[in-house]
Amino acid sequence: MTQFRTLPLRLVLLAALAGLLPGCAQLQGVFNPDAEAEEETAFAEPPAPEPAAEEPEIERLEIAEIVQLLQRGEMGRAEVALDRILADEPRNHAARHLREQLSGDPRAMLGEAHFEHTVEPGETLARLAREHLGDANRFVILARYNDLERPDRLLVGQRLRIPRDASDLPRGTSDLDDQLTALDPDAAPGVGEDGLRRALEADLAAERYGAALEVVERARQHPEAETQWADWLEPLAREAETGYWYQRGLEARSAGDTAEALKAFGEVLARDPQHSGARQHHAELEQQRKEALHAEAIVRYRNQDLDTAIALWDEALAIDPEFEAARGYRLRALELQRRLDALDG
């Protein structure tokens, strides 16, 4: 009998415990804030994606500025800048013309047949493009035709390939500066301060000293040349003059013209007395010159042409007053001349 009373009591207790379990779970949330936070996190909405970063807007350059990039060999930047213009102005002829030169095959555009040209002082790729391709702005395709990294850096004596099959291209008469002036007067080289300075620096970097001196003359005609521009113009002008005379000295020496080479190196030293190259060449040439004068004077002396011999020794001693051999022979020639004059008297 006791066993039957215990069984219903156990069932009642189990039912009561089952009813309390949900309440215990809720109480656990009250006394355990972390658990509640975990539950909220589990059902929270995912964070919104961050907005994508905006691509920086490509700066729009003028055609003349792009041409300067192309001359410096910055083809990638120029290409992006041209695409920026064409996106706004698909019919922009100047931009399309330059863009086609960057993307086209140089051999297909200009032909395989070519002749070789030796760069002369003062020549630029733009001038050669105007002369042979009909348009100064075709310097881009001409540079690519010759695998040149910097179109603005030509060296005197450098060999270039000039296409033969370009006769059907339209011909032009204006040079690059004129074309750039028409496109953008403020940015064109040879017009404003920035353009003149860039043109001068490009010529100096490419050792086109004759062309650099032309830019110097143009700049010096400007009213601000002696005031606001003096700080940059005069140092560059000296560099252009020094480089010009040094280049002429090297050319004269290579051609065997000792007198002209001495004159040119003397001009360099007058502007830069510490110019090591000019000093070395000048000293070597003076040594050669005085020895040649001495040798010629001896021949004249032996042929009894005393006046010419003495004049040659005078010239040698003007180069080197301590030239002992010349001094000794000159004294002999003077003594012989004195005796001959005495006999004639």
Q: Which residue has the tokens 């003059």?
A: 241
**Which carries the bigger pLDDT value, residue 45 or residue 225?**
225
Which pLDDT score, from 0 to 100, does residue 51 have? 56
Which pLDDT score, from 0 to 100, does residue 45 have? 54
The least confident of 71-85, 193-207, 317-331 is: 193-207
Phi, psi of 103 (to 5 degrees): -100, -20
Residue extent(s) of CATH 3.10.350.10 domains in the chain: 63-182
Give how far Cα 140 sits from Cα of 75, 148, 219, Å: 9, 9, 27
pLDDT in tens, 148-182: 988 888 888 889 999 987 655 654 444 455 444 44
Reported as a pLDDT band with limits 50, 70 and 90, residue 33 is very low
Residues 227/192, Cβ–Cβ less than 8 Å: no
Q: Which helix (H) or strand (E) holds 160?
A: strand 159-163
Which pLDDT score, from 0 to 100, does residue 24 have? 42
Range 126-130 average pLDDT? 83
Count of other CB atoms within 10 angstroms of residue 199: 26
What kind of fold does domain 63-182 have according to CATH? Membrane-bound Lytic Murein Transglycosylase D; Chain A (3.10.350)
Task: Return the bridge partners of 163, or none.
Answer: 114
Determine the 3-state secondary structure of 163 from DSSP: strand
Within 13 A of 258's CA, how many CA atoms are on the CB side? 11
| Pairwise CA distance, residues 189 & 76, whole Å | 22
Residue extent(s) of CATH 1.25.40 domains in the chain: 289-344
**Which carries the bigger pLDDT value, residue 184 or residue 302?**
302
The CATH code for residues 289-344 is 1.25.40
Look at the chain and count its residues: 345
In the chain, pLDDT over 70 holds for what percent of residues? 75
Range 302-327 average pLDDT? 88
Phi, psi of 45 (to 5 degrees): -75, 145
Which pLDDT score, from 0 to 100, does residue 200 have? 83
Pair of tokens at residue 9: 């009591």
**Triad 93, 63, 109: Cα angle to 5°:** 50
In the chain, pLDDT over 90 holds for what percent of residues? 28
Range 76-93 average pLDDT? 89
Determine the 3-state secondary structure of 167 from DSSP: coil
Give how far Cα 325 sits from Cα of 33, 58, 222, 321, 333, Å: 113, 75, 55, 11, 12
Flag whether pLDDT at 320 surpasses 90. no
**Triad 56, 62, 66: Cα angle to 5°:** 85
Pair of tokens at residue 38: 């975990």
Flag whether pLDDT at 261 surpasses 90. yes
Flag whether pLDDT at 344 surpasses 90. no
Task: Return the bridge partners of 114, or none.
Answer: 163
| Pairwise CA distance, residues 294 & 309, whole Å | 8
The least confident of 53-62, 66-75, 106-115, 318-327 is: 53-62
- DSSP string covering 308-320, please? HHHHHHHHHHHH-
For residue 172, the 8-state DSSP code is -
For residue 149, the 8-state DSSP code is S
Determine the 3-state secondary structure of 72 from DSSP: coil
Pair of tokens at residue 50: 């961050």
Flag whether pLDDT at 191 surpasses 80. no
Which regions of 152-298 does DSSP assign to beta strands (E)?
A: 159-163
Range 220-224 average pLDDT? 86
| DSSP-based helix, strand, coil % in the chain, nearest 5 | 65, 5, 30
Determine the 3-state secondary structure of 153 from DSSP: coil
Which pLDDT score, from 0 to 100, does residue 30 have? 39
**Rg, Å, the chain Cα set:** 43
